[in-house]
A = this chain, B = another copy of it.
């Protein structure tokens, strides 16, 4: 099946737009990009984590379908924590495969900067285990810090090496007009930024952002009458892992990442060697290391070398997070999985402007829910229909 249009709002602190405004803005951009203004949509899926707690609104999908004049299309919200966007794409993928829908709008979004950081931390923490984790005050940054410590102990990763992710991703974000941050940062600045959860510093962590991203999914035959540059979804994988992080036999092995990626490659009949561009879920710098390795792109413990050698730089052999990643593009929870797909689509269509990667054929995304206990990965191809 094919993606025939994508659209995004700028990510950042968007004080004058409501959640519904953001979802509608991104949707309209995607509909316009697809030249689908007069198309009848069968279904819309909204990826959103916490409209209830953050925006005091439920049934946002029903509200959006009305706002977009897409009635009577079916409309549902798909929630899988910060991987809600990836899950919305996965549900859309299955729906097109079922033959029951031919044209689907998928939109992910979150509006969260209007609440205090204490409130948003509380909301994000509400996906940890209520009795084994949340009650003790564990937050997502603290889990990431523990992962960083384990990884450093095992592979000798230094703070300077780890923060290269932030430097690379900020450098990429500089060229992305949709990014929350469009500025480069120095190693010195990163190393002297405040500790958030030892050893992680401010520049190891993504910001809180508002924003939305959307795409139009169609069955491949129909897509040909809409665009000459369809991008095919060639694999869609999702996997879960133990909820309680300390119960995992080896917390460094993010098994859901590994299994989701394997399923996705198997489905697409592709291997990591076929991939030309990658978007990973670097909510914390260390996650880019572990995901890149668990997905099969690099041997365990070697991602620092890939960074050092420029392999994953924008102009490298296998660029990672050319969008700026969650670190610089920002992380409006439910939007992220869809924004990752938008970035890949733009590169495969040669529409990524000054940050365009040279002639990529296959792109990969990893959207990370919970602390790695519900992960969604996708493969996108320029040529392969699936």
Binding site for B on A (CB under 8 A): 18, 20, 43, 49-50, 52-53, 56-59, 61-63, 65-67, 70-81, 87, 90-91, 93-95, 97-101, 123, 126-127, 129-130, 236, 238-244, 255-256, 259, 369-370, 373-374, 376
Contact = CB atoms under 8 A, between A and B. Distances in A.
A71 B369 CA distance: 14
B243 A62 contact: yes
Contact of A74 (B52, B72, B90, B243): B90
Contact of A71 (B67, B100, B241): B241
Contacts of A242: 66, 71
Contacts of A370: 59, 62
Contacts of A66: 240-244, 373
Contact of A73 (B56, B100, B240): B240
Contact of A58 (B50, B63, B240): B50
A75 B79 CA distance: 9
B76 A77 contact: no
A76 B18 CA distance: 25
A79 B81 contact: no
9 contacts: A57-B126, A57-B130, A58-B126, A61-B80, A71-B241, A76-B91, A93-B100, A97-B98, A98-B98
Contact of A72 (B20, B97, B239, B244): B239
Given A59-B370, A97-B97, 15 more contacts: A49-B59, A52-B123, A53-B56, A57-B127, A59-B374, A62-B127, A62-B369, A62-B373, A66-B244, A71-B239, A71-B242, A72-B255, A74-B90, A76-B87, A94-B100
A71 B240 contact: yes
A93 B72 CA distance: 19
- The SS class assigned to the A binding surface is mixed
A77 B51 CA distance: 13
Contacts of A101: 94
A209 B66 CA distance: 30
Contacts of A94: 91, 94-95, 98, 100-101
A369 B99 CA distance: 25
Choose among A50, A78, A242 the residue with the greatest number of B CB atoms under 10 Å from its CB.
A78
A73 to B, nearest CB: 6
Given A76-B80, A78-B76, A240-B66, A58 B127 contact: yes
B63 A243 contact: yes
A308 to B, nearest CB: 33
A357 to B, nearest CB: 30
A199 to B, nearest CB: 27
A56 B126 contact: yes
Shortest Cβ-Cβ A-B pairs, 5 listed: A97-B98, A74-B238, A66-B243, A59-B127, A59-B81
Contacts of A238: 43, 74
A30 to B, nearest CB: 19
Contacts of A78: 76-79
A259 B244 CA distance: 44
A138 to B, nearest CB: 15
Nearest to A45: B91
Contacts of A369: 59, 62
B57 A240 contact: no
A1 to B, nearest CB: 11
